[in-house]
Amino acid sequence: MQRNKEEPEPLSACPAVENPLTALARLYQEQLQICSRLEEVADSLGGQIDMQMCQEIATDIRRSMAFLHRFEEDVLHPLLADSDGTTNRQTFQRLSEEHFADQGYAEEIIELLTALRRGGSDVDMERAGYMLRGFFETVRRHTVFEIEHVLQQARDRLSVTDLEKLGEQLEAHRMMAPVACTVTRVKIRSRRRV
């Protein structure tokens, strides 16, 4: 069932919990906030590095990225593919491949952030800057695509029944990965240049 774009989102779809599309949009925004915080770290290389921020970002990447990717691949993408037939299957396959690459790159970024948190004396700051920028620019571009295309398709195509299923699955995934429940704690910091 396709909804008219003029209609408001059906907030009643999951009365016991938050609208799953709102929750998903917040998860995407948190990915973008992580990218902004990584950019702040990259900008501070060679100067005063916020070691606590490095630890927090590493933890947030580990928790939120894997959770979001797993939820998209296990639930959201198949639900949208079923609502559309075969049109989206190639796009979702490409996004899954990007998730796989991002997860591998994320592990390297976590290692880098851990080294920076320890003082970074053995870190090549120029290389670190390239790594951080390459990662957050890729993740930012991917996340914006997810927001502009995948989330929009979900808003346009999913029925109330689909949204109920999406909400149930979101909660089930959160229960399977309880650390992901803390994803919404991402802190917004003012940008400091050192």
pLDDT of 85? 61
Distances from the Cα of 176 to the Cα of 7, 11, 42, 92, 171, angstroms: 33, 25, 33, 23, 9
Angle of helix 160-176 versus helix 77-84 axis, rounded to 10: 160
pLDDT digits (tens, 9 = 90+) for 118-162: 887 889 999 999 999 999 999 999 999 999 999 999 999 888 988
Q: How confident is the model at residue 12 (pLDDT cuts 50, 70, 90)?
A: very low
pLDDT score at 82: 75
Q: By the 8 A CB rule, do 42 and 129 touch?
A: yes
Domains plus CATH for the chain? 18-185 (1.20.120.520)
pLDDT for 173 beyond 90: no
